[in-house]
């Protein structure tokens, strides 16, 4: 009965979300109703969580009477992937989406004690409406608890590419981010209804934005890491439509994070902040539509169904359409807030916002352009060259200006003074770039400039701390007092900005100086990879839990000295008749040697040989370390005691 | 929900939390100023602005609230929501339908092995070999079930496990070779050849290995060599073996056409002569090693499929006598004889 109880819990959650929406809006004037709305929000979450638990149970016990389990599981699958398959399918991930959506609603209800009653009631009302839309979609168009009349003997198993630890945890993170923006969206709609967007509102919104942004950062990073080592193509970002779909909410979220600070500190930019708050969740929903509708072909798109796509597009149009109409109607009435001079931190944040928004627009265009041309009968694909020419320069400009911001005062600042205080950082960055140009071969001017940009971000972020604590100028006890006095929010900002620099260093170095080699090697054959030699010592077969594999023994030597013994695999999953490659990685400081075992073919003398591909990826670890630092910065800011007041942390 | 309503009514009367936020901002500015983390000039303007915001918020009109009313609405919603859910559930759910966890289904299947189709037999066999991973017979039977349910890949994997456990049994290698053939749509590729070669190495009399290796020679164009192999095979069969006639006529056909007939160049299944050869082999094995219930069941089923009612009844009678105390085997034998 577990499955049927879950199915009932799911429709109950739908009914409760409806109750939450009604009570939330009715409760603006009648506190009793508002209180009941809070209860409904918490109960809706419990309902969805119950349904989700039922789905996980069905996956763990391999109950193939559930269509979703039959399509995505298999008795031979390891337990972790039985559990993670619960959110690995379209239906299951929609349920997961709803669970997080109602979870955030419940978190507002439970932790939002310090919110003004009317704002809170409206926020829960809007969140309830979103819940109704997505739960109705899940219940009627993508029910993960739907039963099969004919129960198959065995399941069809999960796509083996998704049977990977990084990918087991990538969707939860990503969804915590995507759906986290729904709270921000609800806050924005509630504020528009109320007609009041002020500093206090911005502060209430900030923790939710920070939480969502940090989770999204981690989620995208895990996804990039998975693409890097599971797909076996040596890269980590391919401007794939699905990657872009997750990247656009991140860019808008980043802009929102900054503009909300202006609203919080100065009461300014309130209309713009609300606009971004609506846009962030709109892009999240756009991403969900793109991935699930079948309009895009992508490595990580779900198995798709156009009718579902139309429904998702309707949800997107309905919610965002209503919200933006409300915005157009109410925004002119919003108070303009504090004024600021052209040279001020506000202005620099406005520049950051303009550049980030423009960058989002280029990504959006690049993602949708193939769809637009396809509608007119021609197929085009938009790839890295487009993004290198549009997105990258915009981002470089934004990053170039970045270190000036924290050093410029609010309202009326002194940009020349800020630049003056960044002299040493600029000097270090130029020195780093020149050193890279001189030392790293082959010589690459543009890439060296990119490294200088990375150093500039790191040194600039540190320079701000140095400046604030008067290091090297004040006596040590004074510096220490200031260091310990710095709020966590400031440390979080520094960490996030420096993390961006770390990521830029890694991305520039890896992209420009990676070495690649591939050859069909017989046992004993050797492949040269930059300064390393790869030797295929042996290839054996192994019997995995739910796959068969050929496992190569590859020794990596450098100048005759063995540095690594690697075991790349080529796996065959009989359940889905699919081959995957299991990349072997060898860490060398910040660099990695990356080896893929390809298919077997006949060597030059007819002996069996295997296609071995090797990559030397210098500084690649920084690409993943940087975003982790950024997310940690976000979480550190979230833990700032100043934010804990009024709104607690998310569940 | 009801509790929330009561709690909210209780705390409805209070001041606007926005005031607290603005006051708090003021305090933070002071705090930063005291710690010297905010420049002098900025402190003054920031204070002035935050103060103005505080005053503006304090002046905002407070809407009239009605803390008492709405109880009846809450009660109505609390009753209606579950009712709505129940109604929806009856339209989309499957009320009363039990869970079907795999383990329970498997236990059910194990109770009635004779009424199962090949995929279910394979599922049961998989569970059995998981319990007895050291038993080559189990893997052999699993391979047969997997092959019957159309999964030669799983069959060859099972046979490999069986061979690892019993490396000396030629018929396992021969079965592996045949599985490879099914996987390769009837072609006898290098994998299959190697497997038949192993079988022949272990047992030079292996019928199916000799038959298929010779057939592979013919398919590769070495017709004479292949025919020689087949003729030697015929000579080694007993004079009354039905396979003998079938193979003889096949030899004639190939000799006339100078190669395998095109339609039969890629048979999806081993042809009847080969099946007969294998069945004779099985019968011979059971004559010397009779303690193999599964083997008897296979033999009875094979004769019945080939239409050899006489041989079927003889085998059935012998097996029944041998396993008269084992109802499971008897049931399986009766099933196979049908």
CA–CA separation, B278 vs B211, rounded Å? 10
**Cα of A65 to nearest chain B Cα, Å:** 6
Q: Are A263 and A255 in contact (CB under 8 A)?
A: no
**Consecutive 10-residue runs of chain B (338 residues): their mean pLDDT?**
54 57 73 68 72 68 57 85 92 90 90 83 88 88 88 87 88 90 82 89 86 87 86 83 81 80 50 71 76 82 77 80 78 77
Instruction: Give the model's pLDDT for residue A211.
Output: 94
Mean pLDDT of the A199-211 span = 91
Q: Are A509 and A622 in contact (CB under 8 A)?
A: yes
pLDDT interval class at A646 (50, 70, 90): very low
Q: What is the pLDDT of residues A307-340, one digit of tens each?
A: 788 888 999 999 999 999 999 998 888 877 777 8
pLDDT at A630 over 90: yes
Q: Where among A122, A140, A163 does a domain terminate?
A: A163
pLDDT interval class at A650 (50, 70, 90): very low
pLDDT interval class at A644 (50, 70, 90): low
Q: Do B8 and A58 touch (CB under 8 A)?
A: no
Strands A578-582 and A515-522, by their bridges, are: unpaired
Question: In this predicted structure, which of A380-389, A460-469, B286-295 has the lowest mean pLDDT?
Answer: B286-295
Provide the 10 A C-beta neighbour count for residue A465: 18
Q: Looking at the partner chain, which of B12, B21, B66 has a beta carbon nearest the beta carbon of A200?
A: B21
Residues of B in contact with A6 (CB under 8 A): none
CA–CA separation, B35 vs A583, rounded Å? 52
Write the ipTM.
0.79
Residues of B in contact with A573 (CB under 8 A): none
Instruction: Give the model's pLDDT for residue A414.
Output: 82
Strands (E), B271-318: none
Q: Are residues A93 and A104 part of one domain?
A: yes
Number of domains in chain A: 4
Q: Are residues A431 and A401 part of one domain?
A: no
Contacts of B320 (CB under 8 A, 6+ apart): B330, B333
DSSP state of A583: -
Q: Are A523 and A539 in contact (CB under 8 A)?
A: yes
Q: What is the pLDDT of residues A47-101, one digit of tens each?
A: 999 999 999 999 999 999 999 999 888 888 889 999 998 988 889 999 999 999 9
Phi, psi of A401 (to 5 degrees): -80, -25
Q: Do A153 and B85 touch (CB under 8 A)?
A: no
Average pLDDT, chain A: 89
**Cα of A552 to nearest chain B Cα, Å:** 20
User: To probe the interface with A, which of B32, B50, B89, B125 has the most A CB atoms within 10 Å?
Assistant: B89
**Cα of B96 to nearest chain A Cα, Å:** 7
Closest chain B residue to the Cα of A11, Cα to Cα: B85
Q: Do B21 and A203 touch (CB under 8 A)?
A: yes
Q: Do A36 and B77 touch (CB under 8 A)?
A: yes
Q: Where among A131, A163, A195 does a domain terminate?
A: A163
Q: Which of B188, B273, B290 is nearest to B234 (CA)?
A: B273
CA–CA separation, A68 vs A594, rounded Å? 36
Q: What is the pLDDT of residues A569-597, one digit of tens each?
A: 998 887 777 888 889 999 988 999 999 99
CA–CA separation, A494 vs A462, rounded Å? 7
Burial of A412 (0-12, 13-18, 19+ CB in 10 A): middle
Q: Looking at the partner chain, which of B57, B67, B119 has a beta carbon nearest the beta carbon of A31?
A: B67
Instruction: Give the model's pLDDT for residue B272.
Output: 65
DSSP state of A112: G
CA–CA separation, B44 vs B34, rounded Å? 13
Residues of A in contact with B101 (CB under 8 A): 61-63
DSSP string, A482-501: HHHHS-HHHHHHHHHHHHHH
Q: Are residues A350 and A244 part of one domain?
A: yes
Q: How far apart are the first and last CA of chain A?
A: 29
Phi, psi of A56 (to 5 degrees): -60, -45
- Helix pair angle (B17-34, A199-230), 10° resolution: 80
**Cα of A454 to nearest chain B Cα, Å:** 27
Instruction: Give the model's pLDDT for residue A647.
Output: 42
Q: Are residues A248 and A350 part of one domain?
A: yes
Q: What is the pTM of this model?
A: 0.81
User: To probe the interface with A, which of B7, B12, B40, B99 has the most A CB atoms within 10 Å?
Assistant: B99
Q: Residues in chain A, how many?
A: 651
Closest chain B residue to the Cα of A43, Cα to Cα: B1
Closest chain A residue to the Cα of B40, Cα to Cα: A409
Q: Are B259 and B223 in contact (CB under 8 A)?
A: yes
**Cα of A11 to nearest chain B Cα, Å:** 5
**Structure tokens belonging to residue A224:** 């990039």
Q: How far apart are the first and last CA of chain B?
A: 65
- Higher-pLDDT residue of B63 and A198 is A198
Closest chain B residue to the Cα of A151, Cα to Cα: B100
Instruction: Give the model's pLDDT for residue A560.
Output: 86
Residues of A in contact with B84 (CB under 8 A): 15, 18
Q: Are A103 and A183 in contact (CB under 8 A)?
A: no
Q: Are A214 and A269 in contact (CB under 8 A)?
A: no
Instruction: Give the model's pLDDT for residue A478.
Output: 85
Helix (H, G, I), strand (E, B) or coil at A539: strand
Provide the 10 A C-beta neighbour count for residue A27: 30
CA–CA separation, A42 vs A21, rounded Å? 13
Closest chain B residue to the Cα of A549, Cα to Cα: B157
Helix (H, G, I), strand (E, B) or coil at B144: helix
Instruction: Give the model's pLDDT for residue B67.
Output: 55
CA–CA separation, A286 vs A248, rounded Å? 9
Q: Looking at the partner chain, which of A8, A64, A116 has a beta carbon nearest the beta carbon of B100?
A: A64
Q: Do A19 and B88 touch (CB under 8 A)?
A: no
Instruction: Give the model's pLDDT for residue A651.
Output: 34
Q: Are residues A602 and A498 part of one domain?
A: no
Q: Are B70 and A32 in contact (CB under 8 A)?
A: yes
Q: Do B85 and A8 touch (CB under 8 A)?
A: yes
Q: What is the pLDDT of residues A545-555, one digit of tens each?
A: 888 889 999 99
Instruction: Give the model's pLDDT for residue A242.
Output: 83
Question: Which CA distances in Å does A362 have to A239, A252, A392, A500?
Answer: 12, 12, 10, 20
Q: Are residues A505 and A396 part of one domain?
A: no
- Higher-pLDDT residue of A618 and A602 is A618
Q: Are residues A233 and A323 part of one domain?
A: yes
CA–CA separation, A27 vs A25, rounded Å? 5
Structure-token match 């046979």, residue found: B159
**Structure tokens belonging to residue B228:** 């020689």
Residues of A in contact with B16 (CB under 8 A): 116
Instruction: Give the model's pLDDT for residue A23.
Output: 92
Q: Where among A371, A394, A413 does a domain terminate?
A: A413
Q: Do A36 and B74 touch (CB under 8 A)?
A: yes
Residues paired with A83 in a beta bridge: none
What is the enclosing helix (H) or strand (E) of B221?
none
Q: Are A456 and A402 in contact (CB under 8 A)?
A: no
Instruction: Give the model's pLDDT for residue A113.
Output: 77
Q: Are residues A461 and A357 part of one domain?
A: no
Instruction: Give the model's pLDDT for residue B280.
Output: 77
Phi, psi of A586 (to 5 degrees): -125, 115
Q: Are residues A128 and A231 part of one domain?
A: no
Q: Looking at the partner chain, which of A32, A410, A486 has a beta carbon nearest the beta carbon of B74?
A: A32
Q: Are residues A544 and A433 part of one domain?
A: no
Q: Are A63 and B37 in contact (CB under 8 A)?
A: no
User: To probe the interface with A, which of B11, B17, B157, B162 has the most A CB atoms within 10 Å?
Assistant: B17
Instruction: Give the model's pLDDT for residue B12.
Output: 44
Which residues form the domain of A147?
1-163
pLDDT at A440 over 70: yes
User: To probe the interface with B, which of A200, A493, A540 has the most B CB atoms within 10 Å?
Assistant: A200
User: To probe the interface with B, which of A9, A11, A421 has the most B CB atoms within 10 Å?
Assistant: A11
CA–CA separation, A623 vs B45, rounded Å? 41
pLDDT at A424 over 70: yes
Residues of B in contact with A30 (CB under 8 A): 65-67, 69-70, 73
Q: Are residues A446 and A395 part of one domain?
A: no
Mean pLDDT of the A497-513 span = 94
**Structure tokens belonging to residue A614:** 């090797």
In sequence order, which ranges of B149-222 are alpha helices (DSSP H)?
152-165, 170-183, 190-202, 207-219
- Higher-pLDDT residue of B35 and A637 is A637
pLDDT interval class at A648 (50, 70, 90): very low
Q: Are residues A173 and A273 part of one domain?
A: yes
Mean pLDDT of the A465-479 span = 84
Mean pLDDT of the A205-227 span = 93
Q: Are A552 and A568 in contact (CB under 8 A)?
A: yes
Q: Do B37 and A482 touch (CB under 8 A)?
A: yes
Interface A-B, measured as beta-carbon pairs within 8 A, has a size of 218
């Amino acid at each position: 009965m577990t499955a049927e109880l879950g199915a009932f819990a799911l429709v109950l959650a739908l009914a409760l979300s409806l109750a939450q929406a009604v009570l939330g809006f009715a409760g603006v004037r009648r506190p009793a109703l508002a209180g009941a709305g809070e209860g409904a929000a918490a109960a809706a979450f419990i309902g969805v969580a119950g349904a989700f638990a039922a789905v996980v149970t069905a996956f763990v016990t391999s109950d193939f009477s559930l269509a979703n389990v039959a399509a995505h599981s298999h008795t031979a699958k390891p337990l972790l992937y039985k559990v993670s398959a619960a959110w690995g399918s379209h239906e299951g991930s929609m349920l997961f989406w709803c669970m997080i959506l109602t979870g955030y609603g419940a978190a507002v209800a439970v932790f939002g004690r310090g919110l003004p009653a009317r704002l809170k009631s409206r926020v829960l009302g809007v969140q309830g409406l979103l819940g109704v839309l997505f739960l109705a979609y899940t219940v009627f168009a993508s029910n993960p608890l739907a039963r099969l009349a004919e129960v198959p003997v065995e399941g069809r198993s999960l796509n083996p590419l998704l049977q990977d630890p990084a990918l087991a945890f990538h969707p939860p993170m990503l969804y915590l981010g995507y759906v986290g923006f729904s709270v921000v969206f609800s806050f924005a709609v509630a504020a528009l209804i109320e007609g009041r967007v002020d500093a206090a509102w911005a502060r209430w919104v900030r923790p939710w934005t920070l939480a969502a942004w940090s989770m999204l950062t981690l989620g995208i990073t895990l996804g990039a890491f998975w693409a890097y080592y599971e797909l076996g193509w040596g890269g980590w970002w391919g401007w794939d439509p699905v990657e872009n779909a997750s990247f656009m909410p991140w860019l808008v979220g980043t802009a929102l994070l900054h503009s909300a600070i202006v609203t919080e500190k100065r009461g300014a930019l309130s209309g713009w902040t609300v606009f971004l708050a609506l846009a962030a969740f709109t892009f999240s929903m756009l991403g969900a539509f793109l991935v699930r509708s079948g309009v895009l072909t992508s490595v990580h798109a779900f198995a798709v169904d156009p009718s579902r796509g139309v429904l998702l597009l309707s949800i997107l149009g309905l919610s965002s359409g209503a919200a933006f109409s409300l915005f157009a109607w109410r925004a002119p009435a919003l108070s303009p807030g504090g004024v600021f001079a052209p040279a001020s931190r506000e202005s620099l944040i406005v520049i950051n916002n303009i550049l980030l928004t423009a960058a989002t627009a280029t990504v959006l265009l690049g993602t949708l352009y193939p769809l637009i041309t396809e509608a007119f009968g021609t197929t085009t694909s938009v790839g890295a060259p487009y993004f290198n020419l549009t997105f990258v320069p915009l981002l470089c400009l934004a990053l170039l200006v970045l270190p000036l911001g924290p050093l410029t005062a609010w309202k009326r600042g002194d940009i020349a003074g800020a630049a003056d205080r960044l002299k040493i950082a600029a000097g270090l960055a130029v020195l780093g770039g020149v050193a890279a140009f001189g030392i790293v071969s082959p010589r690459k001017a543009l890439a060296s400039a990119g490294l200088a940009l990375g150093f500039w971000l790191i040194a600039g972020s540190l320079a701000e701390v140095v400046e604030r604590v008067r290091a090297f100028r004040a006596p040590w006890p004074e510096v220490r007092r200031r260091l310990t006095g710095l709020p966590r929010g400031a440390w979080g900002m520094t960490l996030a900005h420096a993390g961006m620099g770390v990521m830029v260093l890694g991305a520039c170095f890896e992209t420009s100086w990676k070495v690649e080699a591939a050859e069909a090697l017989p046992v004993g054959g050797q492949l040269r990879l930059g300064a390393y030699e790869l030797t295929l010592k042996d290839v054996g077969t192994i019997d995995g839990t739910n796959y068969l594999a050929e496992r190569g023994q590859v020794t990596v030597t450098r100048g005759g000295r063995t540095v690594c013994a690697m075991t790349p695999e080529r796996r065959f999953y009989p359940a889905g008749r699919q081959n995957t490659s299991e990349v072997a990685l060898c860490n060398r400081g910040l660099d990695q040697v990356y080896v893929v075992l390809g298919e077997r073919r006949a060597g030059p003398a007819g002996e069996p040989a295997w296609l071995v591909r090797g990559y030397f990826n210098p500084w690649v670890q920084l690409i993943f370390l940087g975003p982790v630092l950024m997310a940690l910065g976000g979480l550190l800011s979230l833990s700032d005691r100043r934010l804990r007041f009024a709104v607690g942390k998310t569940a | 929900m009801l509790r929330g309503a009561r709690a909210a009514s209780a705390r409805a009367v209070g001041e606007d939390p926005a005031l607290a936020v603005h006051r708090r901002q003021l305090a933070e500015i002071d705090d930063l100023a005291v710690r010297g983390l905010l420049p002098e000039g900025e402190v003054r303007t920031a204070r002035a602005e935050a103060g103005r915001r505080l005053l503006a918020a304090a002046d905002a009109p407070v809407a009239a609230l009605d803390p008492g009313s709405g109880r009846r609405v809450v009660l109505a919603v609390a009753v209606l929501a579950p009712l709505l859910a129940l109604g929806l559930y009856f339209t989309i759910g499957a009320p009363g339908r039990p869970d079907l966890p795999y383990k329970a289904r498997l236990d059910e299947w194990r109770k009635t092995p004779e009424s199962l189709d090949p995929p279910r037999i394979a599922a049961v066999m998989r569970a059995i070999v998981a319990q007895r991973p050291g038993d080559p017979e189990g893997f052999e039977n699993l391979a047969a079930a997997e092959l019957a349910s159309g999964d030669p890949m799983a069959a060859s994997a099972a046979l490999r496990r069986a061979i690892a456990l019993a490396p000396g049994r030629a018929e396992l290698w021969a079965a592996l070779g045949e599985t490879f053939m099914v996987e390769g749509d009837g072609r006898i590729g290098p994998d299959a050849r190697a497997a038949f070669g192993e079988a022949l190495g272990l047992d030079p009399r292996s019928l199916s290995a000799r038959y298929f290796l010779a057939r592979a020679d013919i398919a590769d164009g070495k017709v004479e060599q292949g025919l020689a192999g087949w003729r030697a095979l015929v000579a080694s069969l007993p004079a009354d073996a039905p396979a003998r006639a079938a193979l003889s006529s096949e030899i004639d056909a190939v000799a006339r056409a100078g190669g395998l007939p095109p339609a039969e160049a890629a048979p999806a299944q081993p042809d009847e002569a080969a099946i007969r050869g294998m069945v004779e082999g099985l019968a011979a094995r059971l004559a010397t090693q009779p303690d193999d219930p599964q083997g008897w069941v296979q033999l009875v089923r094979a004769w019945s499929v080939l239409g050899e009612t006489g041989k079927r009844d003889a085998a059935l009678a012998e097996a029944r006598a041998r396993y008269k105390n084992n109802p499971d085997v008897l049931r399986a034998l009766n099933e196979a004889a049908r």
